[in-house]
């Protein structure tokens, strides 16, 4: 039995952010349409760290992502992941690939897709709060959906903000309050255990995106009100299945991205604040992994390993 193995550098080279946006749109349609089988993700605590298992299936692809979150890491990323793909007829493992880059890219790409669906068409000012891995990938994916001419970067670590701002000609460093105030899109991309913005900073018509995960609370203020959008209503379940910031909110009041894409429910309807809260879902990993494997098969990238 031969397994295709792809390392992080190979996945980076194989995965197109633009192609991923289209693949994620298809994935969210399938998720809302009930075409995805995905048991609740489970957690193995390791002190203050944890391991998450995320199995799922769409069509002929079965996958399991294993992700670890160790905030104390200094020489390794805090989030590490691997993804295994399995044949639905034989159960054989067909590919084993790095999931660290996929997790980073698919998270920011899903947020960028939500921004494309929900931000005002004339949005030109982007605030990115957080200058770590997700800040970097937000700076990569968000300009794919809007032409931002003012990108404000805020971080608790000034050196990180300066480094990230140097990556884009429209980017500059500022405080979180200055970044969010008057911004058309506010993207929260931190590991913060408490809110990183205040509701008073958010103007009508702003789109707010939040991808951070740090139960029992998180980066998104619970008193920020607006139209709420999620990948799936499982986001309202308690962690590790859902998001801590959504506890106590009626799931029926939220809209899935797939519902917008299928034309079942509207996205933005006017000058309201729109809020996208991500929890992450294995269908996003499946979509990204399928793209990487297909491109590897086309180009001959990766290694075939016999078990």
Same domain, 152 and 268: yes
Same domain, 125 and 256: yes
Residue of 284, 304, 307 lying closest to 61 (CA atoms): 284
Same domain, 140 and 254: yes
Same domain, 40 and 129: no
Domain range for 200 is 119-280
Same domain, 261 and 160: yes
Same domain, 51 and 167: no
Same domain, 134 and 265: yes
- Is 185 among the domain residues? yes
Torsion of CA 57, 292, 119, 243, to 10 degrees: 40
Give the pTM.
0.95
We report the CATH number of the domain holding residue 150 as: 3.40.50.720
pLDDT for 86 equals: 97
Tens digit of pLDDT at every position of the chain (307 positions) = 899 999 999 999 999 999 999 999 999 999 999 999 999 999 999 998 999 999 999 999 999 999 999 989 989 988 999 999 999 999 999 999 999 999 999 999 999 999 999 999 999 999 999 999 999 999 999 999 999 999 999 999 999 999 999 999 999 999 999 999 999 999 999 999 999 999 999 999 999 999 999 889 999 999 999 999 999 999 999 999 999 999 999 999 999 999 999 999 999 999 999 999 999 999 999 999 999 999 999 999 999 999 8
pLDDT for 1 equals: 84
Same domain, 71 and 37: yes
Q: What is the DSSP string of 145-188?
A: TS--SEEEEE-SSHHHHHHHHTTSTTEEE--HHHHHTT-SEEEE
- Is 244 among the domain residues? yes
Q: How far apart are the first and last CA of the chain?
A: 6
We report the CATH number of the domain holding residue 29 as: 3.30.1780.10
pLDDT for 29 equals: 98
Location of structure tokens 């991205």: 257
- Is 110 among the domain residues? no
Whole-angstrom Cα distance, residue 156 to residue 128? 12
Same domain, 294 and 147: no
Same domain, 208 and 242: yes
Q: How many domains does the chain have?
A: 2
pLDDT for 74 equals: 87
Whole-angstrom Cα distance, residue 246 to residue 213? 11
pLDDT for 105 equals: 98
Asked if 227 and 275 touch (Cβ cutoff 8 Å), the reply is yes
Q: Residue 269 CB: number of other CB atoms within 10 A?
A: 8
Same domain, 35 and 59: yes
Q: What is the DSSP string of 8-34?
A: HHHHHHH--HHHHHHHHHHHHHHHHTT
Contacts of 173 (CB under 8 A, 6+ apart): 152, 153, 154, 158, 161, 162, 165
Q: Three-state DSSP class for 115?
A: helix
Calculate the alpha carbon distances from 198 to 234, 247, 263 in Å.
Answer: 26, 19, 32
- Is 84 among the domain residues? yes
Whole-angstrom Cα distance, residue 206 to residue 276? 11
pLDDT for 307 equals: 85
Same domain, 83 and 185: no
Compute the radius of gyration of the chain from its Cα atoms: 19
Residue of 289, 284, 290 lying closest to 112 (CA atoms): 284
- Is 69 among the domain residues? yes
């Amino acid at each position: 039995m031969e397994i295709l193995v792809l390392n992080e550098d190979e996945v980076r080279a194989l995965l197109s952010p633009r192609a991923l946006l289209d693949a994620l749109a298809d994935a969210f349609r399938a998720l809302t349409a009930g075409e995805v089988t995905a048991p609740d993700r489970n957690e193995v605590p390791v002190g203050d760290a944890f391991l998450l298992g995320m199995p799922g299936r769409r069509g002929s692809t079965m996958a399991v992502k294993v992700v670890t979150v160790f905030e104390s890491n200094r020489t390794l990323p805090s989030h590490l992941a691997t993804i295994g793909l399995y044949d639905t007829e034989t159960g054989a493992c067909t590919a084993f690939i790095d999931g660290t880059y996929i997790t980073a890219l698919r998270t920011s790409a899903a947020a960028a897709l939500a921004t494309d669906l929900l931000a005002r068409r004339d949005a030109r000012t982007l605030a990115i709060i957080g200058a770590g891995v997700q800040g970097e990938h937000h700076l990569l994916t968000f300009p794919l959906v809007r032409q931002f001419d003012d990108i404000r970067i805020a971080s608790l670590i000034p050196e990180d903000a300066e480094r990230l701002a140097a990556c884009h000609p429209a980017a500059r460093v500022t405080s979180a309050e200055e970044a969010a105030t008057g911004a058309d899109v506010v993207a929260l991309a931190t590991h913060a255990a408490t809110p990183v913005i205040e509701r008073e900073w958010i103007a009508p018509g702003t789109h707010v995106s939040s991808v951070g995960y740090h139960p029992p609370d998180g980066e998104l203020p619970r008193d920020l009100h607006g139209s709420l959008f999620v990948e799936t209503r499982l986001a309202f379940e308690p962690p590790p299945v859902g998001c801590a910031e959504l506890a106590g909110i009626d799931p029926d009041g939220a809209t899935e991205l797939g519902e917008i894409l299928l034309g079942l429910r509207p996205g933005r309807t006017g000058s309201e604040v729109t809020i996208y809260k991500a929890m992450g879902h294995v269908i996003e990993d499946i979509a990204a992994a399928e793209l990487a494997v297909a491109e590897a098969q086309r180009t001959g990238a990766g290694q075939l390993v016999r078990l």
